[in-house]
Amino acid sequence: MKNCHPVTPSPRLPVTLLLFLLPILLPAQRPQKPVLHARHWLAITGKPLGATAGARMFHQGGNAVDAACAMLAATSTMWDVLSWGGETQALIYNPHTKKVIAINALGVAPTGATPEFFQEKGMAVPPAYGPLAAVTPGTPGGLLTMLAEYGTLSLAQVLAPAMEMAEGYPIEESAVRSIERNKGRIKEWPYSKKLFLPHLGEEHEAPRVGEVFRQPGLLNTLRKMAEAEKQALSAGKSRKEAIYAAYDRFYRGDIAEEFVRGCREQGGLITMEDLDKWQVYLEEPVKTDYKGIEVYKLTHWVQGPVMLQALNMLENYDLKSMGYNTARYIHTLYQVMNLAFADRDFYYGDPYFPPEEPIKGLLSKDYAKERIKQVNPEKNDPKAAPGDPYPFQGGENPYKDYLQEWSSASMGRAPSGHQEFMERFLAGTTSIQATDAEGWVVSVTPSGGWIPACIAGNTGVGMSQRLQSFVLNPKENPYNVLEPGKRPRATLTPGLALQDGRPYLSFAVQGGDTQDQNLLQFFLNMVEFGMNVQQACEAANFNSFQLRNSFGEHESKPGELLLNESVPDWTRSALEDMGYKLDFEPRTSGPINAVFFDWAHGTFWGGSSNHGDDYGIGW
C-alpha cells in the first residue's frame, strides 16, 4: 500500500466539494499489533490463556477442530463473556470434501416459555437476566459434536486445559470488573453468589485481579464428561461413540438432572425432556459471490445473511472511488446496512419452525438491486423498513399487513438510558479462529451465559440469556415469535470466504448487533482498500443503531451513528448535514480476529484485534 499524506482543506471549501476530494485519502496506518505469520497452524481467540489452550492441542498432534474446541472450552471456563451454558455455532472448512459446514448449537425455548407466560407478567419482551431468560445449553453439545465428527483427539485431551482452569486460574481484570459491577444481581441467585463473590460482605466482593479463581462445581461437571468418555472406551466403544457418551451424560444423565434441578429451584422452566429433545444440526451455510470471492455465513437463525445481503447491494457501487471512511462511503454503507438489518428484524427466525423464511428472495441479486433504489444519496432515511423478497422467489408475501404496521409495532416501550442502550447494543462475547497445514479452518462466535449468569445448581454452569432475542408480538417479526422448542434469532455470526475454491479469509467478531456491521467493513477493508489482515482488524469502523436491538427492550435509534474519534471535522460536518446524530469512541474496530490465506507463499497471516484481550499463537 502506498503511503498517503493527509490534506488540510481550506475552511472555505464547501462540504459537497470536500466529499469529492476526500476519496484520494486512503488508509495507510501502521497497526499497533504485528501480523501473526505462521506456516503450520494458528490459534486465535479472545484471551491469551484461551489461545494457549488451542496451541496445546496442536502440540499434541491435533487439528484445527481440536484446537477450536479446546479454545471454546477454555474461554467458556474463563467467563470470556460466555460460559458453558451458552450457545455455539461454527463454520468449518473441510479440506477433504472442499466444503464449508455449518454447526447449529443454539439452545431452544423451554417448556412453558410462551408469549402469554411473559405477557401475563407484564413483559413486552422476555427478560434479559435470570433463570427465565435461559434457553437450553448449546455449547457442550456443539463442542462435543464438532470434536466427534471432525476432530482427532480425545475429549479428555481437549478438556484438559479447561479442567486445569476450573481447578483454579488467575482471574483477569475484565471478568473481575464485570462481577463487581453486577454483584447486586448476582446476589439474587444462591449458586452464583457462592461462586462469584468470595469476599462477600467486604467493599470489593468479587475476586481480585490475579487471584486464583476456583470453580469446583464446573470442574466436577467436566470430569464427569471425561469419565463418560473413558468408560465408553473401556466398554469397547469407538472414539466417536465415546465422545457422544459424554454428550448423553450432559443432556440425559446425572449432569442434566442437576442442571434441571438447579434451574427450576431458582424459578426457571427447563425440563429433562427439553434437554433430551434438543439436538445439534449440521447444516448447509448460505453464501454469495462478491467480485469472485465466495462469502459463507450461517443461515437466518442468526444474523449472518445480513452481510451477504449488504454485499449484494454494495457490489452495485464503486466503493473504492468513494474512499475509506469518507462521508459518502459511511453514508452509503449505513443506508445499505439499515435495509439489510430491517429485513433481518422482520424475516429471520428458526428454519425448523414455520413459517418458512424467504431466504432465497432475501439473497437474490435482483432483490438487492430493487432495495438500493430506496437509498437517498444525500440524506439518512430514518424510516428504512423491510422490503418484500417474496416476488424474487416466485411467491406471495403472507405478511403484507404486518409490513405496513412494522414501523410502529415496537413503539410505546419505555426507552433505556443512553449508557444502558449502548452496553446492550455492543455486548460482546469472544471469537475463535483456528487453521492448520492439513487445510482445516474453523470460525466460531460462541456466546451466552455471560456475567451476571445464573448458575444451574451444583453444575457450575451459567445458564444462557438468549431467550430475550425472541419477540412476543408477531407484528414485529412473525418468524421469531417465542415458542417452546424454538431457537431465537441470534446475533452470532462467524464468516468464511473462499477464492478459486480455496480458503481466502476466516473472520469473526464479538459485539452483538454490531457483528455483521464490523465484519462487512473488515471484509471491504481488505478487498476494496488493500489492507492486510492486521490493519483490517484494527481499522476504525462505524456502527448504525437504527436496527432493532436484539437485547433488552429491542430499541432502535434512527440516525444514530458511532464513529471513531479520529474521524476529521469535515467528515463529521458532512454527516450531520445528512441527518446523523454522532457518537464517538476511541476504538471502533470490533474486536475482530481473522486469518488470511497466503497461497502465493503457502502461509497464514493472522489478525488479532487491538481492542481488548484478543490474542493469537502460531507456528
pLDDT value for 232: 98
Query: Which residue's entry shows cell 502440540?
Result: 59
CB 533 within 8 A of CB 519: no
Q: How many helices (H) and strands (E) does the chain have?
A: 23, 19
pLDDT value for 592: 94
The three-class DSSP label of residue 313 is helix
Q: Which of 164-168, 395-399, 406-410, 488-492 has the lowest mean pLDDT?
A: 406-410
Give Cα separations from 121 to 112, 124, 203, 278, 603 (angstroms).
13, 9, 35, 27, 56
> Within 13 Å, how many C-alpha atoms sit on residue 176's CB side?
16
pLDDT value for 64: 98
Q: Which of 110-124, 228-242, 243-257, 539-553 has the lowest mean pLDDT?
A: 539-553
pLDDT value for 19: 43
With 90 as the cut, is the pLDDT of residue 156 above it? yes
Segment holding 141, helix H or strand E: helix 139-150
CB 85 within 8 A of CB 106: no
Query: Which residue's entry shows cell 472414539?
Result: 239
Give Cα separations from 184 to 196, 208, 418, 421, 452 (angstroms).
11, 17, 21, 19, 9
The three-class DSSP label of residue 607 is strand
Measured CA to CA, the distance from residue 445 to residue 593 in angstroms comes to 10
pLDDT value for 154: 98
Measured CA to CA, the distance from residue 232 to residue 529 in angstroms comes to 53
With 50 as the cut, is the pLDDT of residue 260 above it? yes
Residues 135-143, mean pLDDT to the nearest whole number: 98
pLDDT value for 552: 80
The residues pairing with 596 across neighbouring beta strands, listed in sequence order, are: 505, 605
CB 1 within 8 A of CB 26: yes
CB 137 within 8 A of CB 259: yes
**Residue-wise pLDDT tens digits, 491-503:** 999 999 999 999 9
- Name the pLDDT band for 418 (thresholds 50, 70, 90): low
- Name the pLDDT band for 513 (thresholds 50, 70, 90): confident
With 80 as the cut, is the pLDDT of residue 308 above it? yes
Measured CA to CA, the distance from residue 553 to residue 426 in angstroms comes to 14
CB 179 within 8 A of CB 211: no
With 80 as the cut, is the pLDDT of residue 105 above it? yes
pLDDT value for 21: 41
CB 327 within 8 A of CB 571: yes
pTM of the model: 0.93
pLDDT value for 8: 33
**Residue-wise pLDDT tens digits, 444-472:** 999 999 999 999 999 999 999 999 999 99
- Which grid coordinates are listed for 155? 475429549
Residues 8-28, mean pLDDT to the nearest whole number: 41
Q: What is the DSSP string of 262-279?
A: HHHHTT----HHHHHH--
Percent of the chain at pLDDT above 90? Answer: 86
CB 139 within 8 A of CB 87: yes
Residues 255-273, mean pLDDT to the nearest whole number: 98
Q: What is the dihedral of CA 270, 83, 105, 144, to 10 degrees?
A: -110
Nearest residue to 451 (alpha-carbon basis) of 266, 169, 208, 185: 185
- The residues spanned by each domain of the chain are 47-282+437-468
pLDDT value for 422: 58
With 50 as the cut, is the pLDDT of residue 52 above it? yes
With 70 as the cut, is the pLDDT of residue 424 above it? no
pLDDT value for 328: 97
pLDDT value for 428: 64
CB 554 within 8 A of CB 471: yes
Measured CA to CA, the distance from residue 477 to residue 125 in angstroms comes to 12
Measured CA to CA, the distance from residue 129 to residue 133 in angstroms comes to 5
With 70 as the cut, is the pLDDT of residue 88 above it? yes
Nearest residue to 161 (alpha-carbon basis) of 237, 236, 54, 310: 54
With 50 as the cut, is the pLDDT of residue 26 above it? no
Tally Cβ neighbours within 10 Å of residue 218. Answer: 25
With 80 as the cut, is the pLDDT of residue 525 above it? yes
With 50 as the cut, is the pLDDT of residue 412 above it? no
Residues 207-234, mean pLDDT to the nearest whole number: 98
Residues 560-565, mean pLDDT to the nearest whole number: 94
- Name the pLDDT band for 44 (thresholds 50, 70, 90): very high
Q: What is the mean pLDDT of the chain?
A: 92
**Residue-wise pLDDT tens digits, 269-284:** 999 999 999 999 999 9
With 70 as the cut, is the pLDDT of residue 332 above it? yes
Nearest residue to 309 (alpha-carbon basis) of 381, 389, 376: 389
pLDDT value for 520: 98
- Name the pLDDT band for 426 (thresholds 50, 70, 90): low
Measured CA to CA, the distance from residue 71 to residue 69 in angstroms comes to 5
pLDDT value for 377: 95
> Within 13 Å, how many C-alpha atoms sit on residue 69's CB side?
31
Give Cα separations from 368 to 309, 510, 558 (angstroms).
7, 27, 22
- Name the pLDDT band for 421 (thresholds 50, 70, 90): low
